[in-house]
Amino acid sequence: MSKLKIDTKTSLYEPVEVEINGKTFQVKKITREIGQQLADFDAQIQKGNTDAIYQRLELVIGKNKEIDQLGIHEAITIMKFIIHKAFSPEKIEKKVQGPGQEK
């Protein structure tokens, strides 16, 4: 029988980090709720709300002064990187015991 077991407390995926002006930020896990909030910000951006560009970045890395220093193109580039990594994550290699091997 095939079985997939997911433990949300640990992850099989590498954390995503973003460095802005020498300061490193770890990207929050993109959950269903955060995904919906990102979509809401995207709708606001489509209507011309440029502050929503920064708000969606703050949502995933936290509010900080480094975001305020970014140009719009830089903020967009960072979010594109984060979204790309969310859809194409890198897995952490785990050592799995083979059949008949002892611990």
**Residue 37 belongs to a domain:** yes
- Each residue's pLDDT tens digit, 10-21: 666 778 899 999
- Whether residue 14 is contained in a domain is answered as no
Cα four-point dihedral sign 14, 15, 16, 17: negative
- Residue 102, domain member (yes or no): no
79 falls within a domain:
yes
- pLDDT interval class at 99 (50, 70, 90): low
pLDDT band at 2 (very low <50, low <70, confident <90, very high): confident
18 assigned to some structural domain: no
Q: Is residue 78 part of a domain?
A: yes
80 within domain boundaries? yes
Structural domain harbouring 49:
27-87
101 part of a folded domain: no
Number of domains in the chain: 1
